[in-house]
Amino acid sequence: MKHSTWFCTLALIFLTAGGSLTLAQSSTTQPAPYPTPSPYPKSWELKFDYGTPKRIVVDVPGTSVPQAYWYMTYTVTNNSDKEQMFLPMFELLTRDGRVIRSDRNIPRRVFDSIKGREKKPFLEPFPNVEGQIRLGEDQAKEGVAIWPEPEPRMGQFSIFVSGLSGEVATLNDSGGQPVKGPEGNPVILRKTLQLNFIVRGDEVYPGEDQVQEKAKEWVMR
């Protein structure tokens, strides 16, 4: 009887210790909460209006066949309390996970074709939109982000727009310490607008299928 009592007591101690150890290990391996944007603006923020992404085919110099591009026009307005520096970045996330930066080696003829199609006399190419934005609706800038077509069948894709807000956050590990990037500096996340779209169609008639917008959201990226 004494041996049975001793064994039960030892087993209880082992289970209790094991349980405590498991809890301790799980508490140290849980990832730190990923930063999310503040529900209320806590820094300057620019007003951003945009059009539905569209496809265009252009005859560009140096190519034997017309090239397809996707673009999104936008207007950015500074309604804050002082002038702000607008340094935007537009990235397209494809359905297979590729991230494509806009306006990389885009021929000037593509922009001219878009401007003619959209009939926007104040539309400016990407380099001309960057810089100081003065206060008020009459100082708004009109621009366009352009990408080479990633694939004839777009499906679901997202466009990330950064440079619209001054809100930033440091990415920390589970111990509350800043995560370091490749160069040894803390990783800084910026409040970014995520626009989500879907094209319900196939590659048979590219550009003719309707582009539908899904819910948009602010993210830290």
Q: What is the pLDDT of residue 30?
A: 52
Q: What is the pLDDT of residue 180?
A: 87
Which mean pLDDT values do the consecutive 10-residue runs of the chain (221 residues) have?
40 37 39 79 93 96 92 97 95 96 96 96 94 95 97 94 94 85 89 96 72 95 92
Residue 108 has phi, psi (to 5 degrees) of: -60, -30
Domain boundaries, the chain: 1-30, 47-220
Q: What is the pLDDT of residue 182?
A: 87
Question: What is the rounded distance in angstroms from the CA atom of residue 179 to the CA atom of residue 10?
Answer: 43
Question: What is the rounded distance in angstroms from the CA atom of residue 34 to the CA atom of residue 187?
Answer: 12
Collect all residues with Cβ–Cβ distance below 8 Å to 166 and sequence separation of at least 6.
Answer: 43, 44, 45, 84, 191
47-220: what fold?
Immunoglobulin-like (2.60.40)
